């Protein structure tokens, strides 16, 4: 690191658990973020401020006036612009050293197979089950940790799906792809503005912890927030041995 970097990241470096070695890991990391909206905004901004080396943002949407109630990476001046370009501009304004790759597209399974393989860690900030399952399948296939969050109304949830450890579940273990879920979208259900900031900030924290090896992640735990009462519920989740995506095989062992 040069002198400017030592100064910029000094508050991380002062933490014994991170230090120079941990900050160098962040500077060398490549994180893939699916979605640049309510959750993706704080995720992109915090990862950018933390000095992630390469940040790939994937989203096919454009900035709309209704987004500005909660999607803090975007501004009134950028209404109508692709969200990935708007978010990239916000990150660069804070930390021009970060390499931000904005992909205006809705990634399908084939595309995710390529994008996930290129990343060290994936953060799911999308708003539909089909994409979530495609992201999860690619993460299992390429042994990449997945930090997943969701927020609607006053309810949020977050977990880490890291199947590099044989006992940990994947997203499909908890939310099977053949189950029937009612899709809830902000456009019809509404969302409490700070809720996406809370969940998105936690996603960023889990990602930085995983990349630096600090503490323990939320793998195997689903945390759910009721923001009306500001109450958290923590649920332990084992891997489903019959899961169609990551089902435990007799030869499975702990992977690193």
Bridge partners for 121 per DSSP: 31
**Residue among 48, 52, 53 nearest 91 (CA):** 48
CA 74 to chain centre: 18
Spell 58-74 as b/e; 16+ CB within 10 A means b: bbeebbeeebeebbbbb
Question: Does 173 qualify as catalytic in the annotation?
Answer: no
Active-site hit among 125, 186, 243, 246 = 186
- Cα separation, 104 vs 87, whole angstroms: 12
Q: What is the DSSP string of 194-219?
A: HHHHHHHHHHHHHHHHHHHT-S---B
CA 137 to chain centre: 15
Catalytic positions are 186
């Amino acid at each position: 690191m040069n002198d400017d970097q030592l100064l910029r990241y000094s508050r991380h470096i002062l933490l014994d658990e991170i230090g120079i070695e941990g900050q160098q890991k962040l500077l060398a990391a490549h994180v893939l973020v699916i979605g640049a909206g309510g959750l993706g905004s704080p995720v992109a901004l915090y990862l950018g401020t933390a000095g992630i080396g390469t940040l790939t943002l994937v989203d096919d949407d454009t900035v709309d006036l209704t987004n500005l109630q909660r999607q803090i990476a975007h501004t009134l001046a950028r209404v109508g612009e692709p969200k990935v370009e708007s978010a990239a501009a916000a990150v660069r304004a804070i930390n021009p050293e970060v390499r931000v790759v904005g992909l205006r597209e809705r990634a399908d399974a084939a595309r995710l197979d390529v994008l996930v393989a290129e990343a060290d860690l994936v953060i799911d900030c999308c708003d539909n089950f089909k994409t979530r399952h495609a992201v999860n399948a690619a993460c299992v296939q390429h042994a990449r940790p997945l930090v997943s969050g969701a927020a609607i109304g006053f309810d949020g949830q977050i977990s880490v799906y890291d199947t590099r450890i044989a006992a940990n579940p994947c997203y499909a273990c908890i939310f099977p792809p053949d189950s029937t879920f009612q899709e809830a979208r902000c456009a019809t259900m509404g969302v409490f503005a700070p809720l996406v900031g809370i969940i998105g900030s936690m996603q960023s924290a889990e990602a930085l912890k995983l990349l630096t090896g600090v503490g323990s992640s939320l793998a195997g735990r689903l945390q759910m927030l009721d923001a009306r009462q500001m109450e958290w519920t923590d649920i332990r989740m084992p891997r489903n041995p019959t899961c169609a995506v990551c089902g435990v095989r007799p030869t499975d062992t702990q992977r690193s």
